[in-house]
C-alpha cells in the first residue's frame, strides 16, 4: 500500500478507538455588553476553534485578582450570556483566587475578578472557575464509545507521563467535534503534546 | 472507644494501606562552592523537611531562564555534589526552558539556567529537570506494599480530582520517610490537598 493510504487508514483506526486530547489554556468568555465596555465593540474573530462556531477573538484582556494578574489573556467568542474566566489551579495561586472545579456555565457563587481591555475595565462578581475535565463527543462517537451525555468515565492518556484521569464528564452534542479537554495542570501532569490521544475507560 | 483511640487506630490503618501524598514546589540544590558564591557562606537550615536530614535553607535564589525568572525560590540542603533545579513543566514555560522529566540526580545533558543569590550569580550549564513522580519508601513499607527499589507502579490518588498516575518510580531506602512526591502540575491536576493519601497499584 502507498504510504499515504497507510497513514489515512491508521488515522481512521485511531479515530475509532481513541479520542484526541486538547489542552485549554486560560481564557475568558464575556457578554456582548462587557465586550463593548472592554473594547468599544463586540468580539471580532481571529481564528476558528476546534468546536464548531467558536472562535478566538482578536481582543485580549488582563485578568486581575487580589495577588496578581495575567496580561494578554485569550477571549473566546461568540459573546455569551454570562462572563466566565477559566483558569488552572496553578493560575489561581498567581491571582490569589481559588477557583472551584466546575463544568462550563456553572459559575454560581464562584469568585470574581477584574477584566481590563483597551477601552475599560469590568469587575465581574463571579465567574472564575477551573474547568472540570470533560470530553466533547459528537453523538456518533458517543454511540461508538457506548457512553451518554453527562456520564462520568475514566480516561487513559497515551502521553509522555501516562495517567488515568478519573471523574471525566462526557458531554454529547451534534455541535461538538469529539475531543478531550484538559486544562494545563492536567496536560502538563500527563506530559501532553499536541496530537496525543486518550482512551475512554467506562 | 474514646475518640482519640479511634483516631489513632484509623491513622494506623491508613498507614498500612495508603501512602501520604506530598507536593514538591520548585526548588534548587547547590554545591557548597555554589552556596558560597551565591550567599558568601554554606546553606543554613530554616526548617527540617519530611525526608530525614534534608532541610529548607534560609537562603533563597532567583532562577533565570531565556524567557523569564522566578524570584525567592527555595533552596534545599544540605549542599550536594552537583546543582539541580527542579521545576514543573508549567514553570518551564515561564522560564523558556523545556526540562526533561528525570529522577533526582539524573541531570546529564539537561538544560542550564542562572541562579542569583545575595552575593552573586552562578550560571549552571545543566541541571534543570522536572522531577519524575516517585514514591519514597522505607524498607519496612516496601515489604508491606510488596514493591522493590526502582519498580515502576501505578498510583491511585484519593483526591478532589482523582487520578491514577502511571509510571511512578519506587525508591527504597532506610533514609526515607514513606511518601509520594508529586510536582505541582500533578498535584493540581489531581486536586491534591495537604493530608491526602494515595494507593500503590502494582
What are the DSSP calls for A41-78, one per residue?
S---EEEE-SSTT-EEEEEEEEEE-SS-EEEEEEEEES
pLDDT beyond 70 at A1: no
Question: pLDDT digits over A134-155, tens only?
Answer: 999 999 999 999 999 999 999 9
The DSSP output letter for B175 is T
Q: Smallest Cβ distance to A162: which of B90, B161, B167?
A: B167
pLDDT on residue A51: 85
> What does pTM read for this prediction?
0.85
Whether A190 sits inside 8 A of B189 (CB atoms) is yes
Alpha-carbon gap, residue B88 to B26, rounded angstroms: 7
Query: How confident is the model over A52-79, as a mean pLDDT?
Result: 97
Interface contacts A/B by beta carbons within 8 Å = 65
Does the beta-carbon distance from B163 to A166 stay under 8 Å? yes
| Closest chain A C-alpha to B84 CA, distance in angstroms | 20
Closest to B104 measured CA to CA, from B80, B126, B86: B86
Q: Given this model, what pLDDT does residue A136 score?
A: 96
Distance from CA of B170 to the nearest CA of A (A): 15
Neighbouring-strand partners of residue B183: B24
SS3 B119: coil
Q: Tell whether B184 is within 8 A of chain A (Cβ).
A: yes
A101 in contact with chain B, both atoms CB, cutoff 8 A? yes
Is pLDDT of A6 > 90? no
C-alpha cell at B140: 519496612
* pLDDT score for B1: 63
- B153/A51: higher pLDDT: B153
Average pLDDT over residues A145-170: 96
**Which chain B residues touch A166 with a CB distance below 8 Å?**
161-164
Closest CA to A24 of A162, A187, A167: A187
Burial of A11 (0-12, 13-18, 19+ CB in 10 A): exposed
User: Would an 8 Å CB–CB cutoff place B190 in contact with chain A?
Assistant: yes
- State residue A11's pLDDT score: 81
Reported in sequence order, the residue ranges of A65-138 that DSSP labels E, i.e. its strands, are 69-77, 84-86, 101-102, 113-116, 121-124, 128-131, 134-137
Residue with cell 519530611: B50
Average pLDDT over residues A72-93: 96
- Closest-CA residue of A relative to B192 is A89
Range name among A10-14, A47-51, A99-103, B80-84 with the lowest pLDDT average: A10-14
State how far the Cα of A89 lies from the Cα of B131, in Å rounded to an integer: 20
Answer yes or no: do B161 and A163 touch at CB < 8 A: no
Which residues, given as ranges, of chain B have pLDDT below 50? Answer: none
Among A160, A162, A186, the residue with its CB nearest the CB of B189 is: A186
Quote the pLDDT of residue B15. Answer: 79
pLDDT at position A12: 80
Residue A10 C-alpha from the chain's centroid: 27
Q: Which residues, other chains included, contact B61 with Cβ-Cβ below 8 Å and sequence gap of 6+?
A: B28, B30, B38, B73, B75, B115, B116, B117
Q: So what's the pLDDT on residue B13?
A: 81
Strands (E), chain A: 19-24, 27-29, 45-48, 55-64, 69-77, 84-86, 101-102, 113-116, 121-124, 128-131, 134-137, 152-158, 163-172, 179-183, 197-201
Per-chain mean pLDDT for chain A: 95
Sequence-distant (6+) residues with CB within 8 A of A41 are: A35
What residues of B are in contact with residue A180 (Cβ under 8 Å)? none
Amino acid at each position: 500500500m502507498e504510504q499515504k493510504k497507510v497513514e489515512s487508514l491508521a488515522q481512521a483506526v485511531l479515530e475509532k478507538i481513541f479520542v484526541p486530547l486538547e489542552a485549554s489554556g486560560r481564557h475568558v468568555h464575556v457578554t456582548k455588553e462587557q465586550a463593548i465596555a472592554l473594547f468599544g465593540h463586540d468580539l471580532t474573530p481571529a481564528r476558528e476553534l476546534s468546536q464548531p462556531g467558536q472562535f478566538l477573538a482578536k481582543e485580549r484582556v488582563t485578568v486581575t485578582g487580589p495577588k496578581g494578574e495575567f496580561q494578554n489573556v485569550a477571549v473566546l467568542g461568540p459573546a455569551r450570556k454570562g462572563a466566565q474566566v477559566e483558569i488552572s489551579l496553578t493560575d489561581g495561586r498567581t491571582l490569589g483566587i481559588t477557583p472551584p472545579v466546575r463544568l462550563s456555565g456553572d459559575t454560581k457563587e464562584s469568585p470574581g475578578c477584574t477584566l481590563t481591555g483597551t477601552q475599560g475595565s469590568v469587575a465581574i462578581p463571579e465567574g472564575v472557575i477551573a474547568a472540570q475535565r470533560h470530553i466533547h463527543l459528537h453523538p456518533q462517537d458517543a454511540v461508538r464509545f457506548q457512553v451518554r451525555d453527562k456520564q462520568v468515565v475514566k480516561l487513559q492518556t497515551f502521553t509522555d507521563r501516562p495517567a488515568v484521569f478519573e471523574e471525566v464528564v462526557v458531554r454529547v452534542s451534534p455541535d461538538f467535534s469529539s475531543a478531550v479537554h484538559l486544562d494545563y495542570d492536567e496536560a502538563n501532569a500527563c506530559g501532553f503534546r499536541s496530537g496525543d490521544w486518550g482512551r475512554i475507560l467506562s
